[in-house]
Homo-oligomer: A and B are copies of this chain.
């Protein structure tokens, strides 16, 4: 019992530090996340952060895993309502909401420098798992002959990622970003099907 209680307390500290790290990330982007800045945010000595996350890369990897969990939840629309295309559309809207609500977390996992660009990182494994949610949805469409669901899912992802990153950067050429996102998704769904 004592051991179990100690572990729980330790996990609570780790969770609190990770929340502090996420606050730093949301405020200043991945570049602002350091052992020192997270310790300051959490009100602990740097050693407390170092002991659990080792360094900046360890912090960013933990934050990226959490971001992928949140993204997975955002695109999870269940499997038993609507047509495959309708479910996919809802998942895409969840994807956009996640990106717009948490641009720094989104950039952490998908922009240059992402821990998911390292094949050896557990973040990359988790990213592939989340991508598989999209693949499974796309596989439910009436895909064109010879079109692999993974390739079709990548095309869907390309469209979503492009739309939300141009929107976030403030450089889109249409005034209604929500409508443009939906049109992009719809065009891709039409174009990938027979």
Contacts and interface: CB of A to CB of B under 8 A. Distances in A.
* Consensus secondary structure, chain A interface: helix
A191 B165 CA distance: 21
B161 A165 contact: yes
B192 A187 contact: yes
Contacts of A110: 166, 169, 171
Contacts of A81: none
Interface in A166-187: 166, 168-174, 179-181, 183-184, 186-187
A154 B173 contact: yes
Nearest to A147: B183
Contacts of A170: 112, 114, 117
Given A151-B180, A187-B188, A157 B169 contact: no
Copies in the complex: 2
Nearest to A175: B150
Nearest to A128: B173
Interface in A143-164: 147, 150-155, 157-163
A154 B174 contact: yes
Contacts of A61: none
B187 A191 contact: yes
Contact of A159 (B103, B107, B151, B158): B158
Given A151-B174, A154-B172, 11 more contacts: A117-B170, A127-B171, A127-B173, A152-B183, A155-B159, A155-B183, A155-B184, A155-B187, A161-B161, A161-B162, A188-B191
